[in-house]
Structure formats: structure tokens, C-alpha cells
Amino acid sequence: MSTEVPVAVVTGSSSGIGRAVAQRLLADGWQVVGVQRGSADIDHPAFSALPCDLSVGIEVDDLVGKLGTPQAVVHASGVLRPAALGAMDADDGALMWRLHVDATTRLANALLPRMASAGEGRMVLIGSRVSGGMPGRSQYAASKAALIALARSWGAEVAARGVTVNVVSPAATDTAMLADPARASTQPKLPPMGRLIRPEEVAALVAFLVSDAAAPITGQDIQVCGGSSLPK
């Protein structure tokens, strides 16, 4: 990275994993631009917030015109609308696709070429261990699985130009999403480690992936699962 203070764009910075990532990067000396719908409650001289509903394409297109060429982009904004066969809602599925896939695509289409031209950059997408498939989560799983294919494809396009693209996929994480009334009937299963993943643990991995030391790592889906993905 350059010797100037690096700039990271972090979506979903008002809560959960996005907020933890923003706080970790600020502690590591980054300047952070938070993209969020909620109010900005991070009080730090190197933090600024831009309002945007990332599920609305025209708002995302307007947003990228304001971002310049950041050194890192972390797309942590997300939503979960669980539903089993026979109860799936097309609008819920479309919302998850717009927020997880379409918004990511619009951000990458504008920002990755800028980073590639600058010869440096990191993009980290927050996926989910559910991307491998789970009963009652098919629409969510599909949108998160798409992130892996996108990261591998984009990573291959920009690998020779100093830019990496990776996915971090947590198991059930202790965030406000768990308290969402929309998932009241589908409580998370604890990982074998016996507790939920903590947002700051996910943020620690993201912080490494956007560092200089992670330059050789690209196109990967790295699970933070507390043992959930291990053979039984």
C-alpha cells in the first residue's frame, strides 16, 4: 500500500460485522468511509459516513461516484429472510439478491478497475457458511454462494495488477440480525466451539486480508465457523 493513510469503504458500518470491521480498521490506522442506512454512531476523526440504501441500484451508482479510489472495499451489509419450500417469498429473495449480489457487482464494476489502475487494492465480501446450502435458507444461500463465484472471477481479472478479492464466510455470528423478528422461528445453531462467532473475530480476519501481508491471497472463501464445517 502507499505511504499515505489508506482509505477503506465499509458497507453496513452502523451495526454488526460492518461496524466491527470499521472499528478495527480505524484502530489499525485506516481512514474509513462507512456506507449505511442507519445513523452514524462511530465517533472517530478518521471516520465519515455516507447514507445509501444498497438495495436500490440507482443509489449505489450515485454512491460510487463519490468514493474515488479507495485502497480497500469491505461489503458487509446484509439481510436474512429465511423460508422453507412452500413459504418462499419472491420479494424477500429479490431483496437479498439486490443487497448481496447486485450491490456488490455495482461496487466492484466501478471500484475494482480504479484500484487496478492504481496498482493496489483489496476487496473483501462478507459471505456466509450457509452458502453451501441449508434447509430453510435456500434464497439466502444462493445469494451468498454467488459472492464466491464473483470473487473468484474478479480476482482472476485483477490478480496481476496488485488487487485481491476474497470472501469471508462466518457461521452464526452474535449480531442484531439474530434478533430480527423475520427469523424468530429459526434460531441459529451453535458451532461446535459452543458459542456464536463474535463480530470482532470476523473483523480481525478482514483486517488481515486488507493488509499488505495478504497480497498472495485472492479468490478465496475463508470460513470463520467455530468448527461447523469440520467433518463429523
- Write out the catalytic residue numbers: 140
Residue 29's Cβ-side half-sphere holds a number of Cα atoms within 13 Å equal to: 6
CA distance 78 to 182: 14
Q: What is the SS3 assignment for 157? A: helix
Give every CB contact of residue 177 below 8 A, 6+ residues apart in sequence. 16, 78, 79, 80, 183
Helix (H) or strand (E) holding 36: strand 31-36
Place of cell 458497507: 11
The closest of 108, 207, 215, 200 to 160, measured between CA atoms, is 215
Give every CB contact of residue 198 below 8 A, 6+ residues apart in sequence. 173, 174
The neighbour count for residue 3, using CB atoms within 10 Å, is 5
**Contact between residue 202 and residue 219 where contact means Cβ atoms under 8 Å apart:** no
